[in-house]
Chains A and B, each alone.
Chain A
Amino acid sequence: MADIKMRDAVIKIDNSSGTPVDISGNANTLSITGTRQNSEYYNFASDDAKVIEGGRSHTVTMQIIVSDTQDQGYDLLGDWWETTGGGERTLTIQYPDSTAGSYQLVGEAVLTGFNYGDFEAGSAEPMMVEATMMVSGGFTRTVITGT
């Protein structure tokens, strides 16, 4: 299997109607952090620590390029942020791309942070915002069979 290239990934988030919207055209970076709770303990019989494994959690950080098009990345995330109660929305990440044989991660995400924008008078860079999410119930990783 070929090594995976980052840039062809496809990212989808549900809109308010629960329909997945491809926001790959607006998303600039996406980073997933997975952690597991662990506790380390010792007993008198051994020099070496023992470890008990606990539960996992996943957080997602995404940079979005701001556009003023309805239901694109920025508009969709802004609506989600402003919705009372926020709620879970399905986050789908397909990589290296969305064709047969690619991986697919699917999780129910809750939006935990969203900044509306950073502004700088002299800048020529595109306006970017950051959204952070927590994943409820973990990710499910499968392989896409294609059409």
Chain B
Amino acid sequence: MYELQRAMTNAKGETKQAGALVDESWLGNLKKLLERGWVKPVKRKPVLKTDKPLNEKEADNG
């Protein structure tokens, strides 16, 4: 996942504004964009896993 540092237009003519999060497939040629500082990699937040579904937890509490 990458954050656009300014408005960008991809090969299909789609424009996204600065701050938008996109994946590599939207960007196309990533190497040059990273070199020039136009995009910044964003680490995905880890997904918190619960042992049990919420409804089961509620049942335990009750």
Contact = CB atoms under 8 A, between A and B. Distances in A.
A144 B36 contact: no
A106 B15 CA distance: 11
B11 interface: yes
B29 A99 contact: yes
Given A104-B9, A140-B7, A140-B15, A145 B27 contact: yes
A28 interface: no
A145 B36 contact: no
B36 A146 contact: no
Contacts of A141: 7
Contacts of A104: 9
Interface string A132-147: 0000000011111111
Interface in A81-139: 99-101, 104, 106
Contacts of A145: 8-11, 26-29, 33
Contact of A147 (B7, B11, B31): B11
Contacts, number: 52
Given A99-B29, A100-B28, A100-B29, A143 B35 contact: no
Interface residues of B, number: 18
A142 B36 CA distance: 14
Contacts of B10: 144-145
Interface in B3-26: 6-11, 15, 26
A143 B26 contact: no
Contact of B9 (A1, A99, A143): A143
B20 to A, nearest CB: 12
Interface of B: 6-11, 15, 26-29, 31-33, 35-38
Interface of A: 1, 99-101, 104, 106, 140-147
Given A1-B36, A143-B38, A145-B29, 5 more contacts: A140-B15, A142-B6, A144-B9, A145-B9, A146-B33
